[in-house]
Amino acid sequence: MDRLLLNQVSKRFQTHWVFKSIDLELSAGESLFINGPNGSGKSTLLKIISGWVSPNEGNIKYYHKENEILVDDVFEYISISAPYLELIEELSLTELLKFHQSFKRLSINTTANEFSEAIEIEHQISKPIKSYSSGMKQRVKLGLTLFSNSSLILLDEPCSNLDKSGILWYKKNIETILKNRIVIVCSNDIVDEHFFCTKKINLSNYKHHKKLDL
């Protein structure tokens, strides 16, 4: 995927419009910071871009080399890390990596040893994920996303649960994957999460206060 277009995308829950009429274009090598207060719809917009949730109005188009990607095939190009997406905690890191790569390949660090070294939690590959700290689990989530072979990377609050060393790890690795990809970050304006972004939208500017009569 090398181009993403949002055309008048709007979302409502019952009679309340979360956001209205978002137009956006992103190309490979560009990155977007989605800003806004809690409840403004940041995560909802990310879910819509991922294809997980449908907009009530407007549409999203995805392109690869000027050819539109069919909706059913979009998942092949996308990787997402978000607080509401859980790991399979009964599995060890070795088992999780094998399962993950059965449907989405990693571009680098493909063995369990290589992956654990890349996310800096060596000697943990045989332990069940449920025994990991919240920061370690976040590194696993981010590693599976950043090291994927996907061209659209979606990150929702990527530094949540990370300590200072974890944030430094994130900042170092996010910069290595920006070329030729589209990266979108939702954040409560935590600079360490979105410092690299080339574009920004604030969802406070896309509000529609009139309620819908149903």
Q: State the CATH number of the domain containing residue 166.
A: 3.40.50.300
> What phi and psi values does residue 131 have, to the nearest 5 degrees?
-85, -5
Name the percent of the chain lying above pLDDT 70: 97
pLDDT in tens, 150-199: 999 999 999 999 999 999 999 999 999 999 999 999 999 899 999 999 99
Q: What pLDDT, on the 0 to 100 scale, is given for residue 123?
A: 81
What count of Cα atoms within 13 Å lies in the side-chain half-sphere of residue 91?
Answer: 14
Question: Under DSSP, is residue 138 helix (H, G, I), strand (E, B) or coil?
Answer: helix
Structure tokens at 76: 């092949």
**Among the residues of the chain, which ranges form H helices?**
42-50, 93-100, 112-118, 134-146, 164-176, 191-194
Query: Does a structural domain hold residue 60?
Result: yes
Query: Does a structural domain hold residue 20?
Result: yes
Handedness of CA 120, 43, 58, 50 (dihedral sign): positive
Q: What pLDDT, on the 0 to 100 scale, is given for residue 47?
A: 96
Query: Does a structural domain hold residue 43?
Result: yes
Q: How far is CA 195 from the centre of its chain?
A: 16
For tokens 């949540």, the residue is 160
Query: Does a structural domain hold residue 104?
Result: yes
Count up the domains in the chain and report the number: 1
Q: What pLDDT, on the 0 to 100 scale, is given for residue 213?
A: 47
Write the CA distances from 196 to 30, 103, 141, 176, 182, integer angstroms.
10, 29, 20, 11, 12
Q: Which amino acid, 108? A: I
Distance in angstroms (rounded) separating the CA atoms of residues 182 and 39: 25
Query: Does a structural domain hold residue 96?
Result: yes
Query: Does a structural domain hold residue 212?
Result: no
Query: Does a structural domain hold residue 181?
Result: yes
CB proximity list for 176: less than 8 A, separation 6 or greater: none
Arithmetic mean of pLDDT, 25-53: 95
Write the CA distances from 147 to 93, 175, 188, integer angstroms.
15, 12, 24
Residue range of the domain that includes 42: 3-206
Query: Does a structural domain hold residue 214?
Result: no
Closest by CA to 47, choosing from 197, 156, 159, is 156
Closest by CA to 79, choosing from 180, 31, 151, 136, is 151
